[in-house]
């Protein structure tokens, strides 16, 4: 069906963020967001995510 299921990652390259979490039928159910390449992002978030 082409939908994400299980553990995985989604990269928001334009924002410089990475979502790591768990998907069921293409819907993220839980996970964490962290900065990833924020310095080189086209539209970085206003504030960095605290470590």
Question: Under a CB-based contact definition with an 8 Å cutoff, are residues 39 and 16 in contact?
Answer: yes
The residues near 46 (Cβ < 8 Å, ≥ 6 apart) are: none
Question: Under a CB-based contact definition with an 8 Å cutoff, are residues 45 and 15 in contact?
Answer: yes
At residue 1, the pLDDT reads 77
Q: Give dist(CA 4, CA 8) in Å, integer.
A: 8
Q: Give dist(CA 28, CA 42) in Å, integer.
A: 24
Each residue's pLDDT tens digit, 2-49: 899 999 999 999 999 999 999 999 999 999 999 999 999 999 999 999
At residue 37, the pLDDT reads 94
At residue 35, the pLDDT reads 97
């Amino acid at each position: 069906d082409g939908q994400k299921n299980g553990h995985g990652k989604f990269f928001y390259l334009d924002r410089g963020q990475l979502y790591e979490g768990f998907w069921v039928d293409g819907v993220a159910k839980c996970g964490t967001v962290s900065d990833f390449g924020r310095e080189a992002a086209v539209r970085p978030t206003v504030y960095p995510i605290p470590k």
